[in-house]
Structure 1
Amino acid sequence: MLTATYSLVTLSVEQKNARSMLSSLHAQILNILQNLHNINRACLESAISKLEQFEEYCHKRKVETYVIPAIRQSTRKADPILAELENLSSRCMDLLRALHDQWRYAFEQGVTGVKKLCSEMEQYCHHLHERFAKEEEKLFPVVIGLLPNEQWFDIAAKFLHEVDEKGRTHADMLPSTKHEAWPVMRT
């Protein structure tokens, strides 16, 4: 049961980080709306690019990479919840595609076009916020009882391996542990 607890705490921390990033993105969109007359193409392009980067991040989260595949492999009892989550993700992807295709033309339509674009960006944020809430309120509580201990152990091992890999990447940037790589201290 400790592995399940560790996994859920890890998911909770990741969820908190994702919510924080989403909140920052939403604040940026609201800032654009408040300063419509000072907005340029680069500002809109940057906001959309950040949304696209955030979407990539969302698909690499542990819940997407490890937990949902484990649930699908283990049982069909969570299919309705997974379908809801997939539907919200699909809406987000559709909005991002539309934003990517339309942002250049928003300026030709003036303030109305930029407002419409910002409204679609807000809709994207709303759908993601809804997805995060469903993950926390519906998926996580159900998943606790659905996955056997062996799968929780496997998930926790993957989480730890991921942490280990990140640690190795950072360690590779440090000087070698051989004495000649470190500066010699003379007194």
Structure 2
Amino acid sequence: MSLLAFQKYMQVQLRQQSWLSLAQLQYTGDWLNRLYQGGYWRKVEMYLIPAIRQATPQADGLLDGLLNELNGLNHAALESINVVQQRAGAAIDHSALQAEQLRAAIDTFCAALLQRLEKEERELFALARKVIVGEAWFAIAYQFLAHDARAQEARRGKAQVLPFVLPVPLSAPGTPAGAAETAGSDGTSADDALPAIPQPLRAQA
């Protein structure tokens, strides 16, 4: 849902512009990086995959092949982030940025991660249901819950919020506080959910 919301929002914005400012590019790059990191370092890779390996060592060959495909999709998404980063560098040199090029990079990014999610659903999760049984699922669930608790605590400290939340305009002078705000998915206001003006992108594989 985060990926689709981000993709739809950017498509609407880019249809209305032929070029973007450096601040807009950095904002876009920041959200691409957040969505990528939120996908790559997910609980599936940290807890579920090790549990599959432990449950069925003989399936390592099959699992490794699947993980190579998933990592390839991750790489395609990362390349799209690098395209945005390069465009931001060109903008600094006062080169015109074509919105069509940025939209293509965003579409490639979203398509790669959505394809990864679909492949996990059809193949990785199907394998997990076959080989993980009984109380092992409770141990995995506990790890997931503990991870969520740590992530929530980190968000409080860093004010880094997912999923993607649409920007909202600031209230005009005299407007009651909160009139232009909408509630975020985690109970905070949309103003709280919006990232600050981002620093230059630092994407990592």
Q: 1:101 maps to what in 2?
A: 86
Partner of 1:142: 127
When the two structures are superposed, what TM-score results if normalisation uses the length of structure 1? 0.67
Cα shift at 1:24: 1.4
Identity %: 25
1:31 equivalenced with 2:12 (yes/no):
yes
User: Could you give the per-residue CA deviations for residues 119-145 of structure 1, whole angstroms, max 9, x where no partner exists?
Assistant: 112101110111111111221112111
Runs (4+) of structure 1 moved beyond 4 Å?
Answer: 106-109, 163-170
Which letter does structure 2 place at the counterpart of 1:139? L
Distance 2:148 2:122 in 1: 26
In structure 2, relative to structure 1, the CA distance for the partners of 1:25 and 1:163 (3 Å cut) is closer
* Aligned counterparts of 1:103 and 1:130: Cα–Cα separation in 2: 27
Query: 2:39 aligned with 1:58, yes or no?
Result: yes
| Cα distance change, pair 79–168 in 1 and its aligned pair in 2 (3 A) | closer
String of CA shifts for 1:95-114, please: whole Å, max 9, x gaps: 22232133231585535x33
* The one of 49, 67, 76 aligned to 1:68: 49
Q: Number of residues paired by the alignment?
A: 150
- Identify the residue that residue 184 of structure 1 maps to in structure 2: none
Could you tell me which runs of 5 or more consecutive residues in structure 2 were left unpaired when the two chains were aligned: 156-205
- Of 16, 21, 25 in structure 2, the residue corresponding to residue 40 of structure 1 is 21
Which protein has the bigger helix share?
Answer: 1
| Residue 76 of structure 2 is aligned to residue 91 of structure 1 | yes
Which of 61, 80, 85 pairs up with 2:65?
Answer: 80
Going from structure 1 to structure 2, the CA distance change for 1:71 and 1:101 (only over 3 Å counts) comes to: farther
* Alignment RMSD: 2.8
CA distance in 2, matches of 1:158, 1:147: 15
Bigger-Rg structure (1/2):
1
Instruction: Specify every segment of 5 or more residues in structure 1 that has no aligned partner in the other structure, as ranges.
Output: 1-19, 171-187
Indicate the SS of the match to 1:36. coil
Residue 121 (structure 1) aligns with: 106
**Distance 1:29-1:89 versus aligned 2 partners, 3 A rule:** same
TM-score (norm 2): 0.62
CA contact (8 A) 2:47 2:140 kept: yes
